[in-house]
Structure 1
Amino acid sequence: MVCAHCAAPVTEEIERISGVTAARLDVDSGRAVVISDGTLDVTGVRAAVDEAGYALST
C-alpha cells in the first residue's frame, strides 16, 4: 500500500467488522490501528484486509 487512496478500501472493510468503532491505516509504516468495543477477532480483520485486495502480516 503506497498511498491514502489505497488505504481507503482497507479502512472501509475493517470498519465493517462488528464491534469495530474506528480504524486508521498508516501508509508509511504499513500498520493499522483498530479500535473496537470488545475483543477483536483477528481472523475477521485478516478477511477484511484480504477482501480489500491486500494481505495482513503479523
Structure 2
Amino acid sequence: MAFEKRRPLPTVVAAGESLNLLVHVRAQVPAQVEAIDVTYTGAGRTRSVRNSTVFQIRDRCF
C-alpha cells in the first residue's frame, strides 16, 4: 500500500496483506513524542502495542 493512499480508521487488513502505518503529529506547542500506542483486533482478540521505535503485528502474536 502506498503512503499517499489514505484509509479510514478503524480499517480492515486482509489475511496476507501488509499495511504501513504512517503517523502525523501536529503539536500546538513544542512537544516530544515518546511512544505510539496501537490497539488492534484479530482472531477475536483485542491487543495493544506500545513502542517507541518500530512495532510489528503478526498472526503469531495472538
* Greater helix proportion: 1
Q: If the length of structure 1 is used for normalisation, what is the TM-score?
A: 0.25
- Structure with greater Cα Rg: 2
